[in-house]
Amino acid sequence: MDKRARDKVSPAKLIIGLLYPTGSPGMLDWAAGRLSLTFGDIERTSPPYPFTWTDYYKDISSDLSRRFLSFKGLRHPFGLVVWKRLAISIEAESASGGEGRRVNIDPGYIDGARLVLASTKDNAHRIYLWDDIFAEATLCRGKSGWVSFSYTFPDFASGAYFEFLDLVRSDWKSDARASMR
């Protein structure tokens, strides 16, 4: 991407959602450590949220928790594909002794208007980027708060994460203001 095109895109705040076995805080610590080595300093860590919305991730555990991590600084959203590819590599590292992955890692970004998540799965509402990675505007931020879409995952649409997402959005605002000085 040339500099002129890149300058037209506002930088965003990297946020990563983690699903991990509830009874395995060591897996959360391991994943957060690997993500910090890969993406830099963690700015915020959400409280744990019970994840009971689907059994799609039963290969990881039947009892899952979700946490979000946000990272210091702003990044250009064109990194979303690279972020997802790195996350997939870290998930693969979590597999040990022939077992499957022990953590699910979903990178995305927050800017003033939206939460965008990366996916390897195509669907009508996802836009293909490159290297088998798709982008999804999961939530948008209106005047009255976060707004979901008909396709938004139920856990995101529930509002359970809105308070934490607002904190990350506030960090984005502060960083964006500071970068304009």
pLDDT of 95 reads 86
Class of CATH domain 3-180: alpha beta
Q: What is the CB neighbour count within 10 angstroms for residue 181?
A: 4
Return phi, psi of residue 34, to 5°.
-65, -40
Domain ranges in the chain are 3-180
pLDDT of 128 reads 96
pLDDT of 99 reads 75
pLDDT of 2 reads 57
How far, in Å, CA of 172 to CA of 124, rounded? 29
| Residue whose C-alpha is closest to residue 53's, from 121, 153, 139 | 153
Which pTM value belongs to this model? 0.92
pLDDT of 148 reads 98
pLDDT of 3 reads 58
Q: Which residues of the chain have pLDDT under 50?
A: none
Per DSSP, the residues of 2-36 read -HHHHHTSPPBEEEEEEEEETT-HHHHHHHHHHHH
How far, in Å, CA of 165 to CA of 126, rounded? 21
| Residue whose C-alpha is closest to residue 165's, from 19, 38, 53, 17 | 17
pLDDT of 180 reads 81
